[in-house]
Amino acid sequence: MDLKDQDNIKEVIEGCINGRRKYQEILHKAFYSKMLVVCMRYAQNTAEAEDLLHDGFIKLYDKLPKYKYQGSFEGWVRRIIVNNSIDFIRKRKEFTVYFGAENEHIINDRTDSSIDSLQDIEIKEFKAKQIIKAIQKLSPAYKAVFNMYVLEDMSHKEIAQELNISIGTSKSNLSKAKVRIKEFLKAAK
């Protein structure tokens, strides 16, 4: 069933709300693979990503009555899965990293354009699996900020608010995450 068609989406949502297993399976099959990739960005391994996805689907089914049939349904589903992943990271409380005064000049001297690139590394040389593996090797602090900034397109202010850290820490974690990803990818060559 095509879940880009509003009539089909409505039928599936109503079926799920009414507890009809057939429609829950349709929804699950339609988004499982795509959302597992999203969860892999936040998890340490596949098992943890599957747990995140499972919990995310439970929240999704609970929130289906609130869907207003506006905008992309897939985008709405993705936002629930991402928020569930961020909540998981926040609950683990492993994301706060202190950077001492020796790093302050790095935060202040970096421009957004230098932070937005992985410097001289050519991402095109690597397969998606290698890049995901490199992201998974990051510490929870670096991974959370990297995913939220690069993949979820959140600002440092939004990240700081979500994770209860300073904007400077968000910027520093992003910069250090990109350096670490570059190191992991160079080592994988």
Contact 64, 19 (CB under 8 A): no
- 33-75 pLDDT, tens digit per residue, is 999 988 988 888 889 999 999 999 999 999 999 999 888 999 9
Average pLDDT, the chain: 80
Residue 140 pLDDT level (bands cut at 50, 70, 90): confident
pLDDT at residue number 189 = 72
Q: How far apart are the C-alpha atoms of 106 and 103, rounded to whole Å?
A: 5
Which CATH number describes the domain made up of 101-188? 1.10.10
**Residue 79 confidence (pLDDT) above 50:** yes
Q: Outline which parts of the chain fall under CATH 1.10.1740.10.
A: 6-92
Region 6-92: CATH code: 1.10.1740.10
Give start-end residues of each CATH 1.10.10 domain in the chain: 101-188
d(Cα 96, Cα 32) in Å, to the nearest integer? 30
| 82-139 per-position pLDDT tens digit | 999 888 877 765 443 333 333 332 222 333 333 344 444 455 556 767 777 888 888 8
